């Protein structure tokens, strides 16, 4: 089955909506189990293993994050943090066989009680078609001001 550009773009919007609506289990189901969520520390960083990153999580760590965010005994999330993604229309940079690469600029707002912060970022998704469905193979989130001092990012930009 051939995946259309509209399906790819809708997938990126749907992923952001799942995060905004705190539907983390459904979001995790979008991932391939060998995928990585990477947030580099440095502008144009090329190595997630030998250079410090803000986040470099495999599927196991993403599952732990989801369990923490949804757990009844996660006292640091009472009240829960909330987020909102405002995204531009994704660019589809590559389509080859079952591999797709998209780049999306967005503003991400995270809030908890009286605290709110805004991040400007670019998300690069590497997607694969598996059993006629799009899945996330890898996601890279580049913060516009990655070299700034940050508080704790609780959720997933």
Which distant-in-sequence residues (6+ apart) come within 8 Å of 76 by Cβ?
none
The partner residues of 121 in beta bridges, in order of sequence, read: 106, 143
Q: Does the model's pTM come out above 0.85?
A: yes
Burial classification of residue 123, based on how many CB atoms lie within 10 Å of its CB (0-12 exposed, 13-18 middle, 19 or more buried): buried
The answer as to whether 156 is a domain residue is no
Q: Indicate whether 67 belongs to any domain.
A: yes
Q: Is residue 97 part of a domain?
A: yes
Q: What is the CATH number of the domain that holds 90?
A: 3.10.450.50
Closest CA to 111 of 66, 77, 73: 77
Total domains, the chain: 1
pLDDT tens for each residue of 88-122: 999 999 998 889 999 999 999 999 888 899 999 99
Q: What is the mean pLDDT of residues 133-142?
A: 97
Q: What are phi and psi of 50, to 5 degrees?
A: -100, 0
151 part of a folded domain:
no
| Burial (0-12, 13-18, 19+ Cβ within 10 Å), 54 | middle
Task: Retrieve residue 69's tokens.
Answer: 């965010």
Q: Is residue 107 part of a domain?
A: yes
Residue 31 forms beta bridges with which residues? 136
pLDDT at res. 150: 78
User: If you average pLDDT over every residue of the chain, what do you get?
Assistant: 93
The residue assigned the tokens 């993604």 is 85
In this predicted model, what pLDDT tens digit does every residue of 61-89 receive, in sequence order?
Answer: 999 999 988 887 777 778 888 999 999 99
> CA 47 to CA 53: how far, in whole Å?
9
């Amino acid at each position: 089955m051939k995946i259309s550009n509209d399906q790819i773009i809708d997938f990126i919007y749907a992923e952001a909506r799942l995060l905004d609506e705190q539907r983390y289990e459904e979001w995790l189901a979008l991932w391939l189990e060998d995928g990585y969520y990477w947030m580099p520390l440095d502008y144009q960083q090329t190595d997630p293993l030998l250079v410090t990153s803000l986040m470099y999580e495999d599927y196991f760590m993403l599952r732990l994050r989801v369990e923490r965010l949804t757990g009844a005994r996660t006292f640091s999330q009472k009240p829960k943090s909330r987020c909102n993604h405002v995204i531009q229309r994704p660019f589809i940079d590559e389509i080859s066989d079952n591999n797709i690469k998209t780049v999306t600029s967005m503003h991400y707002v995270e809030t908890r009680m009286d605290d709110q912060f805004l991040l400007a970022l670019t998300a690069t998704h590497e997607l694969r078609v598996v059993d006629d469905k799009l899945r996330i193979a890898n996601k890279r989130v580049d913060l516009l001001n990655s070299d700034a001092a940050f508080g704790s990012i609780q959720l997933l930009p």
